[in-house]
């Protein structure tokens, strides 16, 4: 199940400008991830996930790839590309569930009691954590208890 439209995820990844193309199917996105996404997706995700003030954007970027690897490689590894897609999906879903970019950014960056008082964006860096955050967001979107 993909809980948000591919278009929203592609936009969060930086769109055609960052990706070089716009995947129109999950298969195309999966192929791009397997090949390695361009490193331009990292600042795009961070910009969608966090306000410009503070250091959260840098911390989000580091969840995808280390700063040293980011500087030396024009493409992300497949593993880093998977992390980028996962975080982009969570950020897009947060915007969809909460209604505005500002509310999504605030929610993603605030400690949440159901996530062990950790920030949802940090929890979402792992597959299992992303599933937890997705469940919370889907419950919010549909007005269900967490």
Ordered by start, the domain boundaries in the chain are 6-141
DSSP 28-82: HHHHHHHH--BTTHHHHHHHHHS-SSSSHHHHHHHHHS-HHHHHH-SB--HHHHH
What is the spatial distance between Cα 96 and Cα 77, in angstroms, rounded to a whole number? 28
* Contact residues for 28 (Cβ-Cβ < 8 A; gap 6+): none
- Total-model pTM: 0.93
Q: What is the pLDDT along the chain (146 residues), one digit of tens a residue?
A: 578 999 999 999 999 999 999 899 999 999 999 999 999 999 999 999 999 988 999 999 999 999 999 999 999 999 999 999 999 999 999 999 999 999 999 999 999 999 999 999 999 999 999 999 999 999 999 888 76
Q: Which residues of 107-136 are buried (b: 16+ CB within 10 A; e: fewer)?
A: bbbeebeebeeebbbbbbbeeebbebbbeb
């Amino acid at each position: 199940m993909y809980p948000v439209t591919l278009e929203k995820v592609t936009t969060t990844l930086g769109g055609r400008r960052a990706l070089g193309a716009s995947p129109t199917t999950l298969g195309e996105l999966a192929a791009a991830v397997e090949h390695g996404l361009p490193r331009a997706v990292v600042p795009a995700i961070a910009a969608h996930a966090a306000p410009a003030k503070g250091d959260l954007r840098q911390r989000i970027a580091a969840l995808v790839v280390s700063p040293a690897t980011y500087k030396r490689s024009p493409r992300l590894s497949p593993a880093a590309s998977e992390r980028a897609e996962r975080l982009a999906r969570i950020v897009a879903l947060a915007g969809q569930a909460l209604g505005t970019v500002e509310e999504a950014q605030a929610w993603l960056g605030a400690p949440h009691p159901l996530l062990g008082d950790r920030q949802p964006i940090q929890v979402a860096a792992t597959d299992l954590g992303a599933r937890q955050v997705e469940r919370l967001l889907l419950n919010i979107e549909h007005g269900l208890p967490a």
